[in-house]
Amino acid sequence: MRKVKIYDTTLRDGSQGEGISFSVLDKLRITEELDKIGVDYIEGGWPGSNPKDREFFLKAAKINLKRAKLTAFSMTRRPQTKASTDTNLKALSKSNVGIVTIVGKTWDFHVLEVLKTTLKENLLMIKDTIAFLKNQGMVVFYDAEHFFDAFKANQDYALETLNAAVEGGAEAICLCDTNGGALTSEICAVIGKVKEKINLPLAIHCHNDSAIAVANSISAVQAGADIVQGTINGIGERCGNADLIPIIANLQLKLGINCIPEKNIKELVHLSHFISEISNARVRDDQPFVGDSAFAHKGGMHINAIMKNPKTYEHINPEAVGNRRRILMSELGGKTGVLLRARGMNLDLTKDDPKTKKILLLLQKLEHQGYQFEAAEASFEVLIQGILKKYKKFFELEGFKVVIEKITGGKITSEAVIKLKVNGKREHTAAEGDGPVNALDNALRKALKDFYPALAKMRLSDFKVRVLDEKAGTAAKVRVLIQSQDETDTWSTIGVHENIIEASWDALVDSVEYKLLKDQQP
């Protein structure tokens, strides 16, 4: 079976999408998920461009990646300078990675209008930069920016830039459709001509401005590309990047081209939803392969045919990518996902167990209300443990009050007062915080600290809010995703409600209960 390598740039190119801002902890969690799915390369960011990426690479060095190789990104040296004195290139040597990707200009128009230098100097910039990094002991990939526009405008010079990268010691060359304007036929024709001239592995990097980034990437592989660059869910600047989810699914399931370990294909739904939640973006129901509607059937003729043979209206088995078939008139299926999760928690459930049906019905009800458990698995575990009566509630809430006050000078303070019972004993306490949720968190853990001392080692590390129905205005439901951590683990919990404080409280309670449940395990 032919092998094509997957180069994920969600953390770098994906983060350039409008409205997306990953924290360092977000980037670390995404790195671990990408490694689990089995991609070959994870482009962590541009260490020379901002403090966040520098911190990420320092912390990422401590992650024990099982399969993926972490790469750093930068650009060629500046005109009329030396690579050895370039600040960006120096930052690469401190990023603790062995592979770097350098982007350079291949379009004569950009060289003259953007870099304001000569075509000859640009060739030296490419060659010198790659040679310098090679001498530092790094593997260097070269991203040929705007290559398809460059090839169309000045074929000879575009190829010269690739030769400069080869002479500098590049070990792979990526042809980039940076503006996303190339058509599929153009992509294939150009790759064929480049392969005649360049004897290195070729990668493809497409943007989605013409709505064909996925098709272009797949066609590029069929034309001979060895590596595919893209992002999960196609997030990225302007109209986004090529979406790796359908690219991997199509290449592996339909063309028999190996991209990730075969057993991991069924995790594509989980990965897609996980990235959506971390990005604080809406999960698209109509997203191919992984959307909730991708295998949903509503029309009477369709349902009749599907019940006889699913192949009549489904291009693949939905379970192959971790999805499920849905009959919208009478919801069927879904128990498999429950059973898989239960097994992961070492719980002994069967398909015919009434408890399985109870869990499924509750999940469907909660999802209808706006819950999404893909990036909040701690909440799911607390939920399922509660249904199966695997633990006794650690405390009972009698009530809470949150006061927000703006005092003289403009400072805003938040105070939370909580009343609860623990083992029959009533606790009444108050705490301040930077905001209402932080105040609630502080008050809850203050009330519980004498009963559960381990909570002192737990802290809230991230907080995200998303409005589920913008049309409802201030009465809309919101989804709150809280990320917590202790000395060893990080976990996420979820709450949904019209009141943001109530949604936050539900997520906080799940977070505390998950911590206490986790500490009970041998």
Listing DSSP states for 126-138 in one string gives HHHHHHHHHHTT-
Do 273 and 409 reside in the same domain of the chain? no
- Residue in the block written with tokens 């004498």: 450
> With bands split at pLDDT 50, 70 and 90, how would you rate the model's confidence at 471?
low
Of 115-129, 278-292, 425-439, 455-469, the range with the highest mean pLDDT is 115-129
Length of the chain: 522
> Phi first, then psi: what are they for 163, rounded to 5°?
-65, -35
Would residue 358 count as lying in a domain?
Answer: no
SS3 420: strand
Whether this prediction's pTM lies above 0.85 is answered by no
Q: Tell me, what DSSP letter sits at residue 441?
A: H
Of 155-159, 353-357, 420-424, 507-511, the range with the highest mean pLDDT is 155-159
Q: Looking at residue 39, what is its pLDDT?
A: 98
Burial class for 231, CB neighbours closer than 10 Å (0-12, 13-18, 19+): buried
Would residue 47 count as lying in a domain?
Answer: yes
Listing DSSP states for 183-217 in one string gives -HHHHHHHHHHHHHH--S-EEEEEB-TTS-HHHHH
Q: Looking at residue 332, what is its pLDDT?
A: 38
- Residue in the block written with tokens 């953390």: 11
**Cβ-Cβ contacts under 8 Å for 478 (sequence gap 6 or more):** 465, 466, 467, 468, 496, 497, 498, 500, 503
Do 271 and 401 reside in the same domain of the chain? no
Q: Looking at residue 96, what is its pLDDT?
A: 86
Q: Residues 125-160, buried b or exposed e (16+ Cβ, 10 A)?
A: bbbbbbbbbbeeebbbbbbbbbbbbbbeebeebbbb
Q: Looking at residue 115, what is its pLDDT?
A: 93
Q: Looking at residue 296, what is its pLDDT?
A: 84
**Cβ-Cβ contacts under 8 Å for 486 (sequence gap 6 or more):** 454, 457, 458, 459, 515
When mean pLDDT is compared across 48-57, 161-170, 383-392, 434-443, the lowest value belongs to: 383-392
Q: Is residue 138 within 8 Å of residue 107, measured between CB atoms? A: no
Q: Check pLDDT > 60 for residue 163.
A: yes
Q: Looking at residue 327, what is its pLDDT?
A: 65
Burial class for 20, CB neighbours closer than 10 Å (0-12, 13-18, 19+): middle
Which of 242, 259, 278 represents a domain boundary (last residue)?
A: 278
SS3 417: strand
Burial class for 446, CB neighbours closer than 10 Å (0-12, 13-18, 19+): middle
Number of domains forming the structure of the chain = 2
Would residue 478 count as lying in a domain?
Answer: no
Q: Looking at residue 333, what is its pLDDT?
A: 38
Would residue 348 count as lying in a domain?
Answer: no
Give dist(CA 398, CA 419) in Å, integer: 5
Closest CA to 516 of 468, 461, 445, 446: 445
Could you read off the pLDDT of 472-488 as tens digits, one per residue?
566 678 999 998 988 88
> Phi first, then psi: what are they for 404, rounded to 5°?
-115, 125
Q: Looking at residue 341, what is its pLDDT?
A: 65
Would residue 77 count as lying in a domain?
Answer: yes
What strands lie across the sheet with 490-497, from one edge to the other? 459-467, 478-485, 490-497
In which domain, by residue range, is 62 found?
5-278
The CATH number that applies at residue 16 is: 3.20.20.70
When mean pLDDT is compared across 154-158, 298-302, 497-501, the lowest value belongs to: 298-302
473 vs 26: which has the higher pLDDT: 26
**Cβ-Cβ contacts under 8 Å for 177 (sequence gap 6 or more):** 147, 148, 187, 204, 205, 206, 207, 213, 216
Q: Is residue 265 within 8 Å of residue 320, measured between CB atoms? A: yes
Q: Looking at residue 136, what is its pLDDT?
A: 92
Which of 234, 258, 278 represents a domain boundary (last residue)?
A: 278
Q: Looking at residue 367, what is its pLDDT?
A: 78
> With bands split at pLDDT 50, 70 and 90, how would you rate the model's confidence at 513?
very high
Q: Check pLDDT > 50 for residue 214.
A: yes
For the chain, what is the mean pLDDT? 90
Would residue 229 count as lying in a domain?
Answer: yes
Would residue 505 count as lying in a domain?
Answer: no
Do 46 and 182 reside in the same domain of the chain? yes
Q: Looking at residue 276, what is its pLDDT?
A: 92
Would residue 43 count as lying in a domain?
Answer: yes
Which of 278, 298, 315 represents a domain boundary (last residue)?
A: 278
Burial class for 178, CB neighbours closer than 10 Å (0-12, 13-18, 19+): buried
Tell me the mean pLDDT in the region 168-175.
98
Burial class for 8, CB neighbours closer than 10 Å (0-12, 13-18, 19+): buried
Could you read off the pLDDT of 74-98 as tens digits, one per residue?
999 999 999 999 988 988 888 889 9
When mean pLDDT is compared across 185-189, 331-335, 467-471, 503-507, the lowest value belongs to: 331-335
- Residue in the block written with tokens 């949903």: 296
Q: Looking at residue 334, what is its pLDDT?
A: 54
Give dist(CA 156, CA 151) in Å, integer: 8
Give dist(CA 522, CA 512) in Å, integer: 18
Closest CA to 39 of 65, 13, 68: 68
Q: Residues 358-369, buried b or exposed e (16+ Cβ, 10 A)?
A: ebbeebeebeee
Q: Looking at residue 413, what is its pLDDT?
A: 85
Q: In percent, how much of the chain has pLDDT > 90?
A: 66
> With bands split at pLDDT 50, 70 and 90, how would you rate the model's confidence at 300?
low
CB under 8 Å, gap of 24 or more: what pairs does 502-505 form? 503/465, 503/477, 503/478, 503/479, 504/436, 504/437, 504/440, 504/463, 504/480, 505/400, 505/440
Q: Looking at residue 314, what is its pLDDT?
A: 94
Q: Looking at residue 91, what is its pLDDT?
A: 87
Do 29 and 154 reside in the same domain of the chain? yes
The CATH number that applies at residue 439 is: 3.30.160
Could you read off the pLDDT of 324-348 as tens digits, one per residue?
887 653 233 356 556 656 766 777 7
